[in-house]
Amino acid sequence: MDRFYHALIDMTRIGWGKDNPAFRQIFTSRFIPGGTDEQLGWFNELCRKTTSPEIAARLLESRATINVVDLLDQVQAPTLVLHSREEDVIPIGEGHILAAGIRGAQFVELDSKNHILLESEPAWERFCHEVLEFMGSSDTTDGEDPAFNSLTAREREVLALITEGLGNAEIAARLSISEKTVRNHVSNVFDKLGVWSRAQAMVFAHDHGFRPGS
């Protein structure tokens, strides 16, 4: 545990149950930094009501010491791991470790800073779509995945050319831009779609209804 986390646990014991929400505001803002004052207030009050200061502190301590990495390969159930790319509570790398350790797990990066997604952000629509599709209940399989909504017009062009099997140099020539610019666009596409390679981007585009001309 680092110094910040030790301090967070100490502050939890001292300030969690107080009427003044100053401490809980620090805690809450890490979970929903994009939340409105009303949403932050709701989460502050929810935290106060659901557990005592001591239990909250012990839960934080336990979370910092429990390690189940060695057990991940024993998981046999179909697994979907969704993780907000820029959240502060749990680093994105931890999500990658979880998904990599479970055989056949699907991993989806969500374009959000919030640990608790807000219904007003595009990541919420993506989250719902991925969960419904994973459960076999999606009614949007014939349409384009909401993930593609986050792509700019140029990024859509780059993705379309990736699906044609073109390399960076060929894409640069086709679009009359530099290879460096292409690399930047490719990196952005990968981030927004939650993929790590051109092959994965091609499969994702094919399986999720990407329409190049849209």
Output the domain CATH number for residue 167: 1.10.10.10
Q: Tell me which H or E stretch contains 11.
A: helix 3-15
- Where does a domain end: 65, 86, 107? 65
Residue 25 falls inside a structural domain = yes
Residue 212 falls inside a structural domain = no
Provide the number of structural domains found in the chain: 3
Band of residue 169 on the pLDDT scale cut at 50, 70, 90: very high
* pLDDT single digits (tens) 40-79: 888 888 888 888 889 988 998 888 888 999 999 999 999 9
* pLDDT single digits (tens) 85-144: 899 889 899 999 999 999 989 898 898 999 999 888 888 888 888 888 888 765 544 567
Q: Is 68 helix (H, G, I), strand (E, B) or coil?
A: coil
pTM: 0.62
Residues of the chain by 3-state class (helix, strand, coil), percent to 5: 60, 5, 35
Rounded Cα gap, residues 11 and 99, in angstroms = 32
Residue 174 falls inside a structural domain = yes
Residue in the structure block whose two tokens are 């001309």: 213
Q: Are residues 151 and 188 in the same domain?
A: yes
Q: Are residues 11 and 56 in the same domain?
A: yes
- Where does a domain end: 13, 34, 65? 65
Domain range holding 127? 69-134
Q: Are residues 152 and 108 in the same domain?
A: no
Rounded Cα gap, residues 35 and 64, in angstroms = 26
pLDDT computed for residue 141 by the predictor: 47
Per-position b or e across 51-88, b if 16+ CB within 10 A of its CB? eebeebbeebeeeeeeeeeeebeeeeeebebbbbeebe
